[in-house]
Structure formats: C-alpha cells, structure tokens
Amino acid sequence: MFFLYKIFGIIFLIFSPLFIIKRIIYGKEDSKRFFEKFSYYKGSYKQDSVWFHGASVGEIMSILPIIKKFENDKSIKKILLTSTTVSSASIIEKKKLKKTTHVYFPFDVNFICNNFLKNWKPKIAVFVDSEIWPNMFEKLETNGIPIILINGRITKKSFENWKRFPTFAKKIFSKITLALPQNHESKIYLKKLGVNKLKYIGNLKYFREKEKRSRSDLKQYFKNRRIFCAASTHYNEEKLIGKLHLDLKKKYQNLITILIPRHINRSNSISNELKELDLNVIRRSSGKKPNHNCDIYIVDTYGEMSKFLKFSKITFVGGSLVNHGGQNPLEAVSLGNYIIHGKKVGNFKEIYEKLKKLSIATEVENINDMKQIFSNKYNYKKSKRILKKIENMGEEIFRKNILEIKNYLR
C-alpha cells in the first residue's frame, strides 16, 4: 500500500500544475509562493529549528500560544512554522513573529519531502490535530527527527478508513515518537493504529491567551441590540438561522444575529440566500457597519471570531445540525457564552458532554427548540466559577504540552 501511495504522489505531481492554476484562480493558492509546496524557497534556510505544522486557521490558532511562548524562550533560537492554506498564512503574517519563519507545507512526495528536510534540518517536528503524512513521517524517521503529534485527533470515520489498510496504518503511525491525544476516543484509536507512546493531557483548545484590554469600535454598533451569535455554521444551517431570526424578531424587535460561517468563501451565497428571506444582510468584508436596520451581520474575515463572541451571551455552534460532526465550542465558552448545538457533534462528543455537566450547553433538534432556549437563556449570566475552572484546566494542558515538547529538545 505504501508503494501505491508513493506512485499516486508522483502521478499527482505530474498533474499538479493544473491543480495549482485552478486554485490560484479561485484564490485558494498564493500565486507568489506556490513553489514552496515543491520545497523551493527564497532567502536563507533557518536550520536546527523547532518545526510546527498545522493545516489551516483552526490548527494554527491553537498552537500560536505555544509558538509565542517559544519566541520568548532564550534557549530556542529558531522556529519553523508550516501550514497549507492562504488564510492561515495571512494570519501568521499579521502576528509579526520574530524568531518564526513561515513556509507552506510541501507536497507529500518522496523527493520533495527529502529536499524539505535537507534544506531546513529541524530538530523536532510537531504536528497538530490529524495531520498524518506518510512520506514525510518516513523521511523524518530516517533522519532521526522526533515526531510529536499534539492535540491529536482521530475521528471514528478516519479510524475506519485507516483500518482498511492495517499494515500501512501501523507502518505510518508507529513512526510517531509521542502522541498527545485531545480526547479519550482518539487515544484508543491512535493506540490501535500503531502509536507506541501516548499521553492523555487534554484538549489544547481549552487554553485561551489572556487578551490585552482594548477599545473596540464595534461596541457602539451592538450596545442597544439583543444579540444572537451563530458560529462555525455549515451549508444548510444558515437558512435555518435566518428563519430563526425572523421568528425571534417578532418578540425581540432590536435583535441582530451575528453569523460566522465556517468557510467564509461561501459568504456571498449565504448573503444571497438570507436576502431571499427578506432579511437585511451586511457582510463585514464590505466595510459597512451594522446599522440599526441590520438583521444579519456576516463575519467573513479570518481570525475575528473572538471579537464578536464577546458581545453575545448565547451562541449556536454549527456543524451540528448537519452531518459534519460538530465544531469546537470552547472559544465561545471561554468568552462566557451559553452554547446551543445540534445532535451531530460526534467529533467533539467529550467536550459537549463536559459542557452539559457544567450546565452551560443544551442540545436542540429544530428552530422551535432554539427559540425556546434563546428566550430562557437570554439573561444568562456567565459563572465566574465555571469560567475559572475551564481557565485553570486550559493553563494546565498548555503547560504540559510545553513540557512534553521541550523534553525532546534537551
């Protein structure tokens, strides 16, 4: 199977120019930096770096606190950070990190991975979430570079796919030096797939950096409005949110719904769909402010979710009314929101069960359920005790992740 995977990689490489051109046209590829995915780079290489890899925005946001911690560590001179998406690269650029160099993750083809490691020579490779790359893992092992999987996640679906090729799976997963799974289910799956050393620490997304207090120009636009937030929504959920808004507005005339879609490239079609319901829709990317007539304010910009979750008390977390497996609610929780979610949260089951025990989340099936919860919980006051408990848990998980990574840098 590994041989076939390598052959597939070469076939992909032959047709990759067509693939890249298409992605550039649709704004999904950086026209000035796409060659980095072939392991060609401008400028000098920062060798002997601590290398972190996260696929896209969510993974990068989860490890930025670790990278910032390492930026302030005098014993760590260089950090290499890779990702695969244009949106993640944009966020990293805005952070203006001093020790950290960002490049795009290379295509998982044998000689390209070889060139990447030959150029950068990292001391350690830290992968985030479910980033498993067979050729890269093989080359890392060959070069004696430890592979750490932090906040590791394997869903039931992913596990079943890997189990179809047990020999191949064991060959790849056994190369992981240490896995720190984010939940007990992933720990079981990683063990069965061949990881030898595992430590359950907890979900890194429980940790949230303490933000510097700053005045927001947005506050004035929401201060006299009742706010409902729908975060990380997926296709077919936005229309339901629009219908919910219309129902709630009969009772709460000053209502505004802040809609934060999971994939912001869909914002134009979402806007059109909601306008068909005779809703007044404003997109953040338009530069227009949410005026008093605005029904739905679509946040279609990267890395700004927390700015808007601060204004709400109740948030519906998407991917849970459709067959997606849910989305992570911890960012909304840490900002004091009561959580509404659908039944389909299999990918984050452990987190939602914990939130239910803390009485800060409710499962719903339809618009009527959501309307009822909004009415019952609108005056919800965040519990400082619960938030402190979550904060302490996050800080402990963060501290242990740092220690585990540094153990391999000695």
pLDDT for 361 beyond 90: yes
Looking up residue 320, the CATH number of its domain turns out to be 3.40.50.2000
Q: Both 114 and 261 in a single domain?
A: no
Q: Both 200 and 271 in a single domain?
A: no
3-state class (DSSP) for residue 52 = strand
Q: How far apart are CA 296 and CA 274, in angstroms?
A: 8
Q: Both 194 and 232 in a single domain?
A: no
pLDDT for 216 beyond 90: no
Mean pLDDT of 303-319: 92
Is 13 within the bounds of a domain? no
- When computed from its CA atoms, the radius of gyration of the chain, rounded to whole angstroms, is 22
Q: Both 228 and 351 in a single domain?
A: yes
Q: Both 226 and 266 in a single domain?
A: yes
- No. of helices (H) and no. of strands (E), the chain: 16, 13
Q: Both 315 and 351 in a single domain?
A: yes
Backbone angles phi, psi at 65, to 5 degrees: -60, -35
pLDDT for 11 beyond 80: yes
Q: With cut-offs at 50, 70 and 90, classify the pLDDT of residue 373.
A: very high
Is 19 within the bounds of a domain? no
pLDDT at residue 25 in the model: 86
Is 318 within the bounds of a domain? yes
Query: The dihedral of CA 161, 12, 302, 33: what is its sign?
Result: positive
Look at 15-29, 90-104, 385-399 and tell me which has the smallest mean pLDDT.
15-29
Q: With cut-offs at 50, 70 and 90, classify the pLDDT of residue 46.
A: confident
pLDDT for 35 beyond 70: yes
Q: With cut-offs at 50, 70 and 90, classify the pLDDT of residue 58.
A: confident
Q: What percent of the chain has pLDDT over 90?
A: 75
pLDDT for 24 beyond 90: no
Mean pLDDT of 335-339: 92
Is 12 within the bounds of a domain? no
pLDDT for 45 beyond 80: no
Q: With cut-offs at 50, 70 and 90, classify the pLDDT of residue 212.
A: low
pLDDT at residue 215 in the model: 59
How large is the greatest C-alpha to C-alpha distance in the chain, in angstroms?
65
Q: With cut-offs at 50, 70 and 90, classify the pLDDT of residue 214.
A: low
Q: How far apart are CA 7 and CA 11, in angstroms?
A: 6
Looking up residue 116, the CATH number of its domain turns out to be 3.40.50.11720
pLDDT at residue 81 in the model: 97
The pTM score is 0.89
How many structural domains are present in the chain? 2
Q: Both 32 and 94 in a single domain?
A: yes
Which among 250, 251, 277 has a CA at the least distance from the CA of 259?
A: 277
pLDDT at residue 254 in the model: 93
Q: With cut-offs at 50, 70 and 90, classify the pLDDT of residue 213.
A: low
Distances (CA, A) of 286 to 223, 331, 335: 21, 25, 26
Question: SS3 string of 216-239?
Answer: CCCHHHHCCCEEEEEEEECCCHHH
Task: List CB contacts of 367: < 8 A, sequence separation 6 or more.
Answer: 240, 243, 244, 247
- Report which DSSP code applies to 258: E
pLDDT at residue 410 in the model: 77
Q: Both 349 and 239 in a single domain?
A: yes
pLDDT at residue 179 in the model: 98
Is 198 within the bounds of a domain? yes
Q: Both 138 and 244 in a single domain?
A: no
Mean pLDDT of 238-260: 95
Mean pLDDT of 398-403: 97
Q: Both 199 and 223 in a single domain?
A: no
Is 11 within the bounds of a domain? no
Backbone angles phi, psi at 371, to 5 degrees: -60, -40
pLDDT for 347 beyond 90: no
Half-sphere exposure of 19 (CA within 13 A, CB side): 9
Work out the number of other CB atoms within 10 angstroms of the CB of residue 77: 11
Q: With cut-offs at 50, 70 and 90, classify the pLDDT of residue 217.
A: confident
Is 149 within the bounds of a domain? yes
Q: Both 198 and 227 in a single domain?
A: no
Is 307 within the bounds of a domain? yes
Q: Both 198 and 237 in a single domain?
A: no
Q: With cut-offs at 50, 70 and 90, classify the pLDDT of residue 372.
A: very high
pLDDT for 52 beyond 70: yes
* Domain span including residue 376: 219-389
- Residue pLDDT, tens place only, 147-187: 999 999 999 999 999 999 999 999 999 999 999 999 999 99
Q: How far apart are CA 123 and CA 95, in angstroms?
A: 24
